[in-house]
Amino acid sequence: AEVEETFKRILSHKGVIGAIIVSYDGIPIRSSFAENDVTVQYCALIQQLAQKAKSAVRDLDPGNDLTFLRIRSKKNEIMVAPSPDYLLLVVQEPNDQP
């Protein structure tokens, strides 16, 4: 219910292409992408990357922790919000305002 609401609100923002909620072992719980293989691909690749980023931050300073991960590429931006059990992944197309 509230999950639905949050999810729909995120998707309604300008430029957002899609969103995925991933569990800690890489299973997509909720995905807005129609094709399953796109979802699976995003899950597998991004989850590993987020895990690596988290361990990197922790290794450099044990008191530190990863709060947010942004991957900006030529065509779009992938934003990852990590939590101990789940991962929220959003793909947005940036609005380049000159």
Q: Alpha-carbon dihedral of residues 73, 77, 83, 87, nearest 10 degrees?
A: -100
Tell whether residue 17 is a contact of another protein (CB under 8 A).
no
Handedness of CA 31, 36, 40, 46 (dihedral sign): negative
Continuous H helices in the chain: 2-12, 36-60
46 scored as a contact of another protein (CB under 8 A): no
The nearer residue to another protein, 37 or 59, going by C-beta atoms, is: 37
User: Rule CB under 8 A: which residues touch another protein?
Assistant: 2-3, 6-7, 9-10, 13-16, 21, 23, 25-27, 29-30, 40-41, 43-44, 67-68, 70, 72, 77, 79, 81, 83, 85-86, 88, 90, 92, 94-97
